[in-house]
Amino acid sequence: MKRYLYLIIAWVCLFILSTSELRAQNKELLSNYQSKMQQLLSKVTGAPTDNERYNANELLVQLFDEALQTDGSFHWKWNLGMQVSVLTSSDRQFRIITWPVVRDNGEYECFGFVQSYNPKTEQYDVYVLNDKSEELISTSEMVLGPENWLGSVYQELIETKHEGRNYYTLIGWTGVNNMVQRKVIEPICFRSNSSAPQFGQSLFRREKNTRRVVLEYSRNAMVNVRFDEQTVTTYENKKVKKKGRIYNIQVPHEEKIKMILFDEIAPIVPGMDGLPQYYAATGTEMAYIFVNGRWELRDNAQGRQSDQKLNKDFSPLSKSQPAYQMK
């Protein structure tokens, strides 16, 4: 009996030792991947020609794919600066990695990966994101997969919950071309008993065909989309009695609510409806508030920002000029 006990203890010690060695090897391997990626990123963003940038990016995609297949890569903290967005859900359900390549003519193409948990295999699967923006129509209405993705560099991952279910919403941006830029408010979910990501959901209350909110506007305009706690004014209908008569009045209330606050956009030149290069912010702020598992539009929610700093370090669009702009 003692002999078997000793064998079990020895086997457990050997297993722990081999696991520790494997983790150390994987850590060194991921560190090497990261160093190579950092070198390639300087070419992806700074090389003088399209050909050089895309050649470097092709190698970057290959390295990322290999690295994300490595055991323990989901928990690796990628240190790639402001050039690559890495967002991870707090429940460790998934991670999404995105970045752009800018062409000489000002057009943007986005690249990325989703690394998501598969409950069947209890492992993380890797999905390559293919930017098909130029081929997609009715982009606000479509449910999309990794193979036909509306390319974006995601700035924020919003996590909400209703009746024990987690909901994820992404805020993304891309430069599109030298005249137009785009921001999206995009839900992401995962198919039942699967790790496969699905972009776009019917989470927008009273907006029947909307799967994502797409804002396309002039490259020279500044349009804000952010998730923050805001002080808003809401109105409650009340009946009051004066001099024997009943009147309906709206009583204002101020409260702090977390919401997606964004600028309403419209053409700045009359008659240019449908041409995003002429769109800019109107000065009116709109908001989506998460209510009972849905994003509810509040067009009268004029937020006042209490903190000017965004809650994410990554900022792909500078207020003075677009980031990643090639000279």
Q: What is the DSSP string of 198-261?
A: EE--S-BTT-TT-SSEEEEEETT----EEEEEEEEEEEEEEEEEETTEEEEEEEEEEEEEEEEE
DSSP 48: S
Diameter over CA atoms, the chain: 97
More confident residue, 261 or 254: 261
For residue 198, is pLDDT > 90?
yes
- Give percent of the chain with pLDDT exceeding 70: 83
pTM as predicted: 0.81
Q: Give the alpha-carbon dihedral of 302, 283, 296, 315, to 10 degrees.
A: -100
The count of C-alpha atoms lying within 13 angstroms of the C-alpha of 33, restricted to the half-sphere facing its C-beta, is 21
**Residue matched to tokens 């700035």:** 155
Q: Is the dihedral of CA 105, 153, 96, 189 positive or negative?
A: negative
More confident residue, 310 or 40: 40
For residue 310, is pLDDT > 70?
no
For residue 26, is pLDDT > 60?
yes
